[in-house]
Each structure stands twice: as C-alpha cells, then as structure tokens.
Amino acid sequence: MRTKQPFQFLVLIVALALTLAACGSSSTDTTAASGSSDTTAASGSTDTTAASGTTDTTVHQDMASQVEVFSWWTGGGEAAGLEAMIKVFAAEYPNIEFVNSAVAGGAGTNARAVLASRLQANDPPDSWQGHAGQELIGTYVAADQIEPLNFLYDQEGWLDVMPETLIPLISKDGNIYSVPVNIHRSNVLWANPKVLADAGVEMPTTLDEFFTALDTLKASGMEAPLAMGEQWTSMHLFESIMLASMGPDGWEGLWNGSVAWDSPEVTQGLEDFAKILGYTNSDASALAWQDAGQLVLDGTAAFNIMGDWQEGFFREVGSVPGTDYVWAATPGTEGNFQFLSDSFVLAKNAPNRDAAVAWLTVAGSNAGQDAFNPVKGSIPARNDADRSLYGEYLLSAMDDWASNRVVGSLTHGVVANDSWKSEIDTAIGLFLLDRDVASFQTALVAAQEASG
Ligand code: GAL
C-alpha cells in the first residue's frame, strides 16, 4: 500500500491509459482522476488478515487492490490529518493502494463541484467526504448515490460509541449512511494575545464587547482588526453572528420553520452582520481561510472567526497555543456549540467496494480517529478517545461538546440542503457588494420559500 500525491496519480493514470485501451477517464478534475473503474484488477496477493483495531478484516484474493477516497483536505493541517489516518489504514490493509483524490479548496467549494460532475457522469470515487446533516441526506441520499452502512455499524459496534445526537443526522428511514470521523466547532473566535494586550483589549464575550474591542483596535491604527477570507468564510462569519444575535432558539428556528425569515430578529442579526463586516479586510475575497488565520498570527489582524481546523493550521505552522493565539466562543455564543461533522460514505456501485468498506472501517475506528483528529484540529466523533493525545484547545472542545447546547452549522452542511444553502450563498455574495440589509433579507426570505 502506498499513498499517492495527485501528480503521481495522474502519472499512473496516463500510464494506465496507454496500457489499457479501455481507460476512458472523463474527469474534469485537475488534481484527482477518474478511471478507477478500469483499475480493479486483482493484485494476485494472497489472502491476509489484518487487525482493524476493533475487528479482524480478511483481505480476499479477488478483492480490489486500491481504494479511491475523495476529500478537500489538501493542506494547512488538513492533509496532515488525512495522512495520519491513511497511515493507520496502510498498517491494517497493506495490500490496498490508497488513491488520494483530494481536490484543494476550503469547505469543499471546488471539490464538491468536481464530485457533482463525477456523480453526474456515473464515475463515483469509492468513498467521499460529506457533512453529516442535510448535505448528506438532502443530496447524496436523496439522489440514491450512496449505500446504507447499517451492516458496518452492527459489525463494528459503532452505535455504542458514536454520539446519539449524530445518528439521526446521518440516517433516513432507519438506514445509516455515513461514518463520521470527527466533530468540528464552527463558532470559535481566534485572537492574537499580544495584539490584544498592546491595545488594552480583553477577549470579548458579548457582541457589544466585540464591537467595542474592534473599535478600540481600529482607533489604535489597525485597519482591519477582523480577518476574513474568500466568500464561504463570510457565510461562516454569518452563521456565528446570527447565532450570537438570535440565540440558539432563534438560529434553530430559521431551519425548523418556527422563526420567520422576515422577522425583526432576523433584521437585527443581519444588521449585526453588516456592522461586523465593516471591520474586515478589503482583500478578503483573495484569501484562503489559512491566509486569514495567518493575518492573526502576524498581528496584522487581531481576530478571526473560523472553525477549529484553524487550530490544525496554527499548530502545523509551529504556533504555540496560549502564546501565539488564544480562543473563545464567538462573542455572544458562549454555552453553544455550533457543530459540523466530516463523514465518509460508500458510493453505490463503488468500483472497489470491499476496499472502500475497509477504508470506512478504519475511518470509524478508535485508532483511525485518534490518529486523524489531534492533527486535523477536531475532536473524534467516537466518545472513547484517548484524551492524552489531544492538546489544550481540543480538550476544551471535548468538554464543551459534552456540556454545551449543540446547534448546527449552515456553511458546513448540517442545517440546510444544498439548494437552500446555495441560494443563501448567492444572497451573501450580493450583500458583500451592496451591504443593503433590506434587499438581503428579501433574498433570504425568497431562498427559504424556494428551497427551505
Ligand atoms: C469544512 C470541513 C472541515 C475543513 C473546512 C475547511 O467544510 O468540514 O473539515 O476541511 O471545511 O476546509
């Protein structure tokens, strides 16, 4: 087993195309490649048995010799986390080649477009990353693109170790459709403690304190005290500020229909969001989420609101928690854990089904999750983690996950299906340009009516 980088994999595919007349890759993806259905030839390896951590898995002679796994984890802490889990997979399934078809771009903005065209062309990767919640149920399950995994849950005893809150979000009609590898927190405020100390600013705990802190930093000469990146990161900021402004009942009400999108509390939330945007950098659209995080580390900005994968990035670049960066819940959201969960699915008609099941077995295992999460900057979905492997921030996230009120993320697939989310995204894009709260709210009302 080996792990291939995208370029090496492209080289392999070219070689296969030359040797196998029937290659026929139609992928438009530049970092991943299709054609996996052409490469299912058995390696001729003898049967082996590998311990998966929770159960023994037999590798059959006629089993495919590779598995193609699709994600958007290509850099900044994310690729390293994936590599750590691949290492566990390699140890347990040494005769399965891991084809890493990750496509770059935060929050899967590029990857999900590539995936959609592959699924459309009937060319699925064996397994791909999908968020628990509406993204999974409203997209892949609705389109009948993935297999139920109840058999694996039974075999591995996962119902005993996965959070009860998560199972309904990955299930439909009694079928469980994915294997969650982690829990991420979306509502986190990251800050540079030296910048705050120099300006005499404390970590804010309410929206009002946040505005005051941002004003103080601006008055001290910092042009854009709140770092932001490309458009999806503004949706990310939006969900944090709406939660802060509306509270958890208000936020949840937007998605369960109990709060109207044209209500005054939504108007207030949008005004708070508009105000917050006034403190962000003008080059945001050109920056990845890691670039925005770097502005905080550099002291060019004081704050960034981003999911806790930001800590994976901070650690990867050698920053020290507590010294180079500090954190708190987004002001006004203390006691609430706005969550998302990365999970992996099994493609219907997966070209390498047995190998894909082997991958999913590792993704759901204790060994896989405890290798992946400390590096990725997330806490394991499983509730039996070895806490000694996790740093100070992640330990606090584990405690908050266990004790806080849990609400879902919009940007990362929990609360809205893809079409609703995409209409909200369009409305946010326009709002970033015109900053007109009334027309923004009208567009959000229309989005809910069309797709909610
Ligand atoms: C999220 C994903 C995280 C992280 C982030 C930034 O959607 O769930 O694992 O990858 O995007 O890319």
Q: Binning pLDDT at 50, 70 and 90, where does residue 64 land?
A: low
Element containing residue 162 per DSSP (H, E):
none
Among 70, 71, 72, residue to substitute to test ligand 1 (most atoms within 8 Å of Cβ): 72
366-376 helix and 353-363 helix, angle to the nearest 10 degrees: 70
pLDDT score, position 76: 83
Across the range 408-431, mean pLDDT stands at: 97
CA-nearest of 228, 201, 202 to 217 is 201
Q: Whose CA is nearest to atom 2 of ligand 1?
A: 107
The amino acid that residue 452 corresponds to is G
Best residue for ligand 1 mutational test, from 309, 372, 379, 410 (most atoms within 8 Å of Cβ): 309
Question: Strand order in 379-380's β-sheet?
Answer: 379-380, 182-185, 336-340, 405-408
Distance from Cα 50 to the centre of ligand 1, integer Å: 31
The H or E element that residue 189 is part of is: strand 188-191
Superfamily the domain 6-182+343-393 falls into: Periplasmic binding protein-like II (3.40.190.10)
- In the structure, what pLDDT confidence band is assigned to residue 77 with cuts at 50, 70 and 90? confident
For the stretch 204-230, pLDDT in tens is 999 999 999 999 999 999 999 999 999
Ligand 1 atom at shortest distance from the alpha carbon of 105: 12
Distance 400 CA to ligand 1 centre (A): 20
* Ligand 1, atom 10: closest residue by C-alpha: 107
How many CB atoms are located within 10 Å of the residue 63 CB? 21
Closest-CA residue, ligand 1 atom 1, reads 107
Burial class (CB in 10 A: 0-12, 13-18, 19+), 125: buried
Domain borders along the chain are: 6-182+343-393, 185-339+402-451
Ligand 1, CB cutoff 6 Å, lining residues: 72-73, 78, 106-108, 131, 184, 289, 307, 309, 340, 342, 412
Q: Is the pLDDT of residue 256 over 70?
A: yes
pLDDT of residue 75: 85
Distances (CA, A) of 56 to 49, 180, 269, 280, 384: 7, 21, 52, 52, 20
Structure tokens at 169: 């979000």
Residue nearest to atom 5 of ligand 1 (CA): 107
Cα–Cα distance, 346 to 312 (Å, whole number)? 27
From the CA of 73, give the closest atom in ligand 1.
Answer: 10
Q: For residue 132, what are the CA distances in angstroms to 77, 140, 184, 214, 344?
A: 21, 11, 11, 34, 9
pTM for the model stands at 0.87
For 271, other C-beta atoms within 10 Å of its C-beta total 15
User: Measured in angstroms, how far is the CA atom of residue 136 from the centroid of ligand 1?
Assistant: 15
User: Using one digit for the tens of pLDDT, what is the confidence trace for 128-178?
Assistant: 999 999 999 999 999 999 999 999 999 999 999 999 999 999 999 999 999
In contact, 259 and 253? CB cutoff 8 Å: yes
**Do 185-339+402-451 and 6-182+343-393 fall under one CATH topology?**
yes
Amino acid at 264: P
Mutational test site, ligand 1, from 342, 376, 378, 414, max ligand atoms within 8 Å of CB: 342
**188 beta partners:** 329
For the CA of 413, the nearest atom of ligand 1: 7
Look at residues 395, 378, 269 and name the one whose alpha carbon lies nearest to residue 332: 269
Percentage of the chain beyond pLDDT 70 is 86
Which residue bears the tokens 């065209």? 117
Query: Does the pLDDT of residue 126 top 70, yes or no?
Result: yes
Cα(358) to ligand 1 centroid in Å equals: 23
How is domain 185-339+402-451 classified at the CATH fold level? D-Maltodextrin-Binding Protein; domain 2 (3.40.190)
